Amino acid sequence: MQIIFCFVLFQLNTLSAPFPKAWNVPPENPNFVGRVDVLTEISNLLNTSSSKIVVISGPQGFGKTQIAKRFVYQNFANYDVVWWFRVNQYLKSQFEEFALVIAPFLGVDIPLSIQSIGHEHLITIIKEGIRRQNLKCLIVFDDAQAYSEIEPYIPFSHDKNIHTIVTTKNGNFSTQATQIKPFDRTDSLHYINLFLSHESEKSKNELAERFGDCPAALALSIDYIKSYPAMTIDQYLFKHNALRADLPPFSVAPQKLGSSVDGYNNDLLAAIQMNMKELREHSEDAFQFLTLLSLLHRDEIPISLVEKWLKARGIKTSLDLLISMVNQYSLIEINKAKNMKGAYINMQDLIQKIISSQISTKEKVNRIDEATRILKESFTGTQDKVVKAILMDNTPFLHTIKLSQEADVKPPSIAPVFKLGFLINVERV
């Protein structure tokens, strides 16, 4: 899985195409294949529909985010502003960052203490500024669950210069959504050929068939095969088949996994288990590191938090090596964010949920207890200090909520270990 660097850029005159005035989109996936029909449909809808909002819907692991990103990179020269919102994080702080970047191009003065003007007022100022300047904007809301959570942040224009793309796992988000399906077989074979071109066409087809042409599942299998220079697709499928045969019926509750992955739940679960098992045999430290990540919020897990965990556990293996080993099996990706200050770890939503479901109760209790002690530092101090810290960076709060959810599910033996109220220890003033 590629290492991804997410950054905020202003006008870049070094690029051949005119670059947007405001931009924060993660870099393009160099291994993107296919989806020509979907990309064409998105373009047609944005250029012909009255609403100028396109919803991309489909199960987890089918590449909705990658499709949206591909469209952005194919079309950014048509826009003055391109901005990417991660809806699974707090939109308020993301919009404030957007406001600070775009304000100079709107002729709007935003105070350094941006909270002083009120969030709703700030939204109004930015929306009116965009309309007044008649800017052409492409706004992406990635991983939305309901229209109501993004509606306040969608700018509109009488001239229809504002285009909006929404990705969602919620099949009921819109009756007119563009539905993402698995790869066509041709695209699956194209993707496999990027890494395993020496294999026979028969074996490549069998690999694609095994995983129902699901992009995420193919990535997991390919990364496993690549970790063994002498391994063939046929050998991998033999091992996968043996593990799949030993699995009970897929038992992760639908409400926990979200949208089902039709027809190959056990195939995908077996692939993830194979990668997890291989990782554990290679390094117990790396496996415990993976279990910690699976219990935190899946986006922007700070490297600094993991460093504290390593120190608390007395683990001698370097963080760079642990990250490299877990990344090798397509289980995480690295994101350089926050204006290039610090690094963050991300996990694909479906992979994280399956990993979390496979951790033993004892291991989950231990990881929750360790993470609780580390995160507690973020919520210690006066109320004003804690609130200010959350306004500056809400990721510890997101991780806290996720830990609380993990601790409050069955089996009951986990629940007493951690509660959100026990973690936050603010002193009232």
Summarised one tens digit per residue, pLDDT across range 161-208 is 899 999 999 989 988 899 999 999 999 999 999 999 999 999 999 999
DSSP class of residue 377 equals G
Question: Which tokens go with 105?
Answer: 């191009």
pLDDT score, position 337: 53
Mean of all residue pLDDT scores within the chain: 82
Q: Does pLDDT of 302 surpass 70?
A: yes
The answer to whether residues 205 and 308 belong to one domain is no
Lowest pLDDT segment from 120-129, 145-154, 378-387: 378-387
Q: List, for residues 370-403, the tens digit of each pLDDT value.
A: 998 888 888 877 777 777 777 677 788 888 888 8
CB atoms within 10 A of CB 414: 17
Beta strands in 16-107 (DSSP E): 22-23, 53-57, 81-86
The answer to whether residues 124 and 191 belong to one domain is no
The answer to whether residues 262 and 411 belong to one domain is no
Residue 205 lies in a domain: yes
Residue 374 lies in a domain: yes
The CA-CA-CA angle for residues 108, 112, 117, to 5°, reads: 70
Q: List, for residues 24-39, the tens digit of each pLDDT value.
A: 998 888 899 999 999 9
The answer to whether residues 119 and 241 belong to one domain is no
Is residue 27 within a helix (H) or strand (E), and if so which, with residue range?
Answer: none
Looking at the chain, the whole-number percentage of residues with pLDDT higher than 90 is: 44
Residue 220 lies in a domain: yes
The answer to whether residues 136 and 102 belong to one domain is yes
The answer to whether residues 96 and 211 belong to one domain is no
How far, CA to CA in Å, does 186 sit from each of 105, 183, 191, 201, 224? 44, 8, 9, 11, 22
Per-residue pLDDT, averaged over 332-354, amounts to: 71
The answer to whether residues 238 and 96 belong to one domain is no
Q: List, for residues 208-256, the tens digit of each pLDDT value.
A: 999 999 998 999 999 999 988 899 999 999 999 988 877 765 554 444 4
* pTM score of the predicted model: 0.81
Q: How far is CA 54 from the centre of its chain?
A: 20
pLDDT score, position 280: 92
The answer to whether residues 370 and 389 belong to one domain is yes
pLDDT score, position 234: 97
Lowest pLDDT segment from 51-65, 90-104, 321-335, 364-378: 321-335
Per-residue pLDDT, averaged over 336-361, amounts to: 75
The answer to whether residues 173 and 29 belong to one domain is yes
DSSP class of residue 250 equals P
Q: How many domains does the chain have?
A: 3
The answer to whether residues 269 and 295 belong to one domain is no
Q: How many residues in the chain?
A: 429
